[in-house]
Amino acid sequence: MIAENTPSSTPSFIPSFAPTLNPQRVLPLKPAASAKSAWQHAVLQSDLPPTVKFVLVTLSIEWMDAAGGSCFPTLEQIAKKAGLSRQAVARALDQAVAAGYLHRWHWGRGKGNRRWNYQATLPRENVIEDNLHPPVIVIVDNHKPCPSLIMPKERAAPPEPAPPRPATVEPITAPLSVPKVRIQSRTGLPEDWTLPEDWLDAAQQERPDLSPEAIQASAKNFRDYHLSRGTQTANWKYEWTRWIRRERVPKSTSRPPTPIYLTPPPPTLTPAERAAREQAAQQRMEEADRQAEERRIQMLIANGIDPKTGQRVAPPKPTLSQPQTPQGENRTLTVPVEKKPWIAPPMTRAQQIAVLELRQAGIEREEAVAAVLNDPRFHRGQGH
C-alpha cells in the first residue's frame, strides 16, 4: 500500500535502493538546435509549395552538414532520392532560390567538373532577433518524495517533512549560442539598369554562339521583363546567368549552313590559265571535226563517189578479147533489146534515208541506191 505524503502516525520505511534527491537540483539546458534544424523548421513552416519543401528537406537530410552547407549534389542525384523528374527538381530549386531559402553558386574548375554548391539561407522577414528577453532558468525544490512502501508489522512515526522553500529565479549571465544564418536581402532591378561589362564577358563565355548585339538585346528584354513583373531577388547576377543560358539563337544572326560539295569545288584560275584552257578546248573541237570529215571522205570513196564533185565514178569495164571469125563462117547477129524502165528494189527506212542524203549531195538516183545496197552497213533488217 502506498502512503500519501502527509503526517501520520503510521511508520514508513524508505528502501535503500531509492535515489537520493537533491532539493535544489538545477534543470539541464536543452542543447541548442543546429543551423540545419532551424532551417528545416523554417522551411516546413513557410508558404512554399509542397514539392519545393520536399526537395529542400531531401537536400538537407541527404547532403547538408550541420551548418547547412558543404552540399553539391547533381540534379540527377536529387531527382533519384526525391523520386521526381530532373525538370521538377530544377524548378523547385529555382523557386527556393527566388524565395530566399537557398543560395547556390558554381563550384569546381572546368565546364565539365562544375557543380552547384548549395547553402541554406533564410529570408530577412523570417529572422527574429529578440535580445530584450534573455532566457532564464527556474530552480524549484523537489518536495515530493519517492513513494514509500508501508510495512504492516513496523509502524513508526514518519519524520516530519521539511517546509517547502519558495521558488527562486536565477538569470543566466552567459548568452545562449544562437546559430548564425547568412541573410541576403532581396532587391529589385533599377529602372536605368544596363548590362555591366563583366556580365557581358561572362555571357559570351557561357554562350559563344551569341553575338554581342544579341546579348545586349537579350539584356534589354531581361530588364523590361523583371521591371514589368516587379521581381525581387537576392542575387541579380545569377538571375542574368539563368536568363542568358536559356536564350535562343536569333534566326537573323544564326550561322549559315556549311555547304556540302559532292565534288571538290573548282579552283580559282588566273586569266592566263583560263585562256590556256579555252584554247585547248578549241583545239580538241577542231581535231574532232577533222576526224569526222576524214571518215566522211573515206565512206564516199569506198562507195565509188568523188568527194569533190559528188559524182559516182564508173569503174573501168574489162576489155574482152574476141577471136576473129574466119571467113566463110556465119556470124551471130545481135538484136538490140528494148531497155525497160529502172525500178528500185525494196529498201528499209534507214536505206531510204541514206539514199535521200546522197541525192541531196548531187548523186544520181541509181548510183545512190547502188551505193546504199552495196554498203554492208545498210543490209536489210539492220538499223542505220
Q: Which residue has the higher pLDDT, 154 or 354?
A: 354
145-168 mean pLDDT: 50
Q: Which residue has the higher pLDDT, 191 or 156?
A: 191
> Do residues 41 and 171 share a domain?
yes
pLDDT in tens, 82-131: 999 999 999 999 999 999 988 888 766 666 666 788 899 988 766 555 44
Q: Which residue has the cell 521581381?
A: 231
Distance of alpha carbon 232 from alpha carbon 189, whole angstroms: 7
Distance of alpha carbon 217 from alpha carbon 250, whole angstroms: 10
Contact present, 92 and 52 (Cβ < 8 Å): yes
Flag whether pLDDT at 134 surpasses 50.
no
Indicate the range of 12-16, 185-189, 335-339 predicted with least confidence.
12-16
The per-residue pLDDT of the chain, averaged, comes to 74
> Do residues 218 and 171 share a domain?
no
> Do residues 199 and 152 share a domain?
no
Does residue 7 sit within a domain? yes
> Do residues 247 and 140 share a domain?
no
> Do residues 47 and 95 share a domain?
yes
> Do residues 114 and 170 share a domain?
yes
The pLDDT of residue 147 is 41
The pLDDT of residue 112 is 61
Does residue 289 sit within a domain? no
Q: Which residue has the cell 523548421?
A: 41
Q: pTM of the predicted model, to two decimals?
A: 0.29
- Strand boundaries in the chain, DSSP class E: 2-3, 102-107, 115-120, 136-139, 148-149, 168-171, 187-188, 232-233
Does residue 338 sit within a domain? no
> Do residues 80 and 180 share a domain?
yes
Closest CA to 59 of 82, 37, 43, 39: 82
Cβ neighbours of residue 210 closer than 8 Å, sequence gap 6 or more: 203, 204, 218, 244, 247, 249, 253
Does residue 14 sit within a domain? yes
> Do residues 234 and 118 share a domain?
no
Q: How many CB atoms are located within 10 Å of the residue 196 CB?
A: 12
Give the CATH number of the domain where residue 42 resides.
Answer: 1.10.10.10
Distance of alpha carbon 70 from alpha carbon 181, whole angstroms: 15
> Do residues 48 and 67 share a domain?
yes
Does residue 275 sit within a domain? no
Closest CA to 135 of 218, 220, 30: 30
> Do residues 175 and 66 share a domain?
yes
Q: Across the strands, what pairs with 136?
A: 171
> Do residues 88 and 197 share a domain?
no
The pLDDT of residue 92 is 92
DSSP state of 329: S
pLDDT in tens, 2-33: 444 444 444 444 444 445 545 455 445 556 67
152-176 mean pLDDT: 52
Instruction: Give the DSSP letter string of 154-165.
Output: ---PPPPPPPPP
Q: How many domains does the chain have?
A: 3
Does residue 95 sit within a domain? yes
Does residue 45 sit within a domain? yes
| Helix (H) / strand (E) containing 227 | helix 212-229
Confidence of residue 319 (pLDDT cuts 50, 70, 90): low
pLDDT in tens, 39-84: 888 999 999 999 999 999 998 898 888 888 888 888 899 999 899 9
The pLDDT of residue 175 is 47
The pLDDT of residue 85 is 93
Does residue 268 sit within a domain? no
> Do residues 124 and 237 share a domain?
no
- The grid coordinates listed for 351 are 536505206
Q: Kindly give the interhelix angle for 349-360 and 365-374, rounded to the nearest 10 degrees.
A: 130
pLDDT in tens, 250-286: 776 555 556 565 666 667 889 999 899 999 999 999 9
Residues of the domain holding 365: 297-303+345-384
| Domain endpoint, select from 185, 212, 230 | 185
Q: Which residue has the higher pLDDT, 66 or 339?
A: 66
